[in-house]
Structure 1
Amino acid sequence: MTQPVKCSSDLSTETRHARPYVGRFAPTPSGPLHQGSLVAALGSYLDAKAHDGLWRLRMDNLDPQRCRTDTESTIIEQLAAHGLHHDGPIIRQADRCTQYRTALRALQQQDAIYRCCCRRNTLRAGVDSGRIAEGLAGPIYPGTCRRDPPSADTQAGWRFSVPEEEIDVPDRRLGHLRQRVIETVGDPLLQRSDGVFAYHLAEVVDNAEEGITDVVRGADLAPLTPLHVAIHRSLYPDRPPPRYLHLPVLYDAEGRKLSKTNLAPPLDPRIARDNLVAAAQALGLDTTGAGGDPAALLQTWTDQWRALFLGGEQTVDPLESARQ
């Protein structure tokens, strides 16, 4: 498992960038934003503005069966209603398949990927029967096609050969995320047999090619961060990966993460101010006497964020400290 540990002084002191700060918010347009989405959007926005940086918007719309163009316009309207205006053009992953194919070829030249024809339901059945272990992102692939490659005429996807050594990723809120990915995730698919590229590959390629310096996202994705850093190191050995900061995740009354899958209600733009205050509270920010329009609130919270994350020595979790 990913093991967060206390930040040492090199992590807790703000490191100045040699490059200008560029952050991003990357929703999947499979449904409107909900309150949990707003927490992630607000946290990433405040971090960018506290660093006097850029806040990009990217649509993670790789899977055409899940994503719809009308949902994208709804998300843009929801963000604007809450005062969250992105910098520069919107990036759409569906337009970037050429870049993903180039990345796959680079990994193939390194012998860092291999073809796989195993089906998801077969792997799931292996978990149910106890033959395959459950990992942080589904069944831990047992290496079937690595040992016995499929024939050239067999439809197959591509899997990444994860490194055996431990990956250590500093997280600006949680501390160090240390993980042996081969034991916790296994070799992930980077491209499915039907040609759809996987989130893991697109996320890494987009961050690198868009010049993203900082990834601020929900803590539910923290367990996948060592994998993403491993892929980044294979593709871009001469470039540092982004810095990471994983935010608190919201749960419903039944203890389930707020998500579209769990039918979380969409954000209502008519109560944007109330939504923003609730999101700021979830981040541990001071909303006492919060007044004014969204723009005024965002400026106040940007100043708070700057004090929390750019103010010298930090505790393990500055957001938790702010609540106390």
Structure 2
Amino acid sequence: MRTSNPLGIFERYLSLWVALAIAAGVALGNLAPGAFAFVSGLELASVNLVVAALIWVMIYPMMIQIDFGSLRDVGRRPRGLVVTLVTNWLIKPFTMAGLASLFFLHLFADLLPAAEAREYVAGAILLGVAPCTAMVFVWSQLTRGDANYTLVQVAVNDLVMVVAFAPLTALLLGVSDIAVPWTTLLLSVGLYVVVPLVAGAATRRALAGRTRDRAAIARFVAALKPVSVLGLLGTVVLLFGFQATTLVERPLTIALIAVPLLLQSYGIFALAYLWAWAWRLPHAVAAPAALIGTSNFFELAVAVAIGLFGLQSGAALATVVGVLVEVPVMLSLCALANRTAHRFPA
């Protein structure tokens, strides 16, 4: 069992810091809505540039750890990729559609207007068809995932997303013409994967030099980890600040939307994680494989929801609730993965 604690006080009390960041975001969003509205408007192709910068700060330390010479070894261990791809594309979209329909159209039918309920189903489906691209690097880092393997998992997943997102969305929504926001998709992949990957490779090369001093790389990454956590907390403050008014004005609706999303998240993680355990995958591969399917590409889901149903639609609100519940849920799953790491092969 691993006993090292590389983030010290930041990692040990991360849940507390996130809870405080959520409270701060809601409070500041209601006290200074104009400031958050201004920051929210700093977008390019539905990607908020401030949030993108904070996520970049989170991802950059992990990208430094990627050894391109070791990427070829991933092909010798394809099972982690199988878990990721099957969970994300053959299971998750359909379980999300089923859970959303069950809760919004049946179990919560007396609590929600019928027209809104159908839009909430649509928003949940959009989340289910958009697996994570950016934040999974953060979750992988928190669970001490294999940086090389995580990069390949995300890269392959993104390639599948390019060809599978529109057909699956059309199938599950029953809409024949899905306008995929390609600018949002490509910009997000560029900002969250390509740019930090190039920056990380350049940093790694500069630190290692001709002697390939891995100790220098490890020291630099360790020094950046507190900054990475601060980036996460800043992201939480902004996300909750953007939606602070809605959280205060419609708490029951938010809670009802969150129920199937929470069940989906924990259920998908359990399925992928137990599958990886049954296959005897190493924990550094198993944890990211399960977390990729659990986390969502919320920029893409929100952009498509707004494009199809409108900014004030129930579908757009459901995707926003997905954003709000994701960070606390994913942190709890990272903690669970770390506590059970000893049950996986070294």
More strand by share: 1
For the aligned pair, the TM-score class normalised by the smaller chain equals under 0.3
TM-score (norm 1): 0.28
TM-score (norm 2): 0.27
More relative contact order, 1 or 2 (CA 8 Å, 6+ apart) = 2
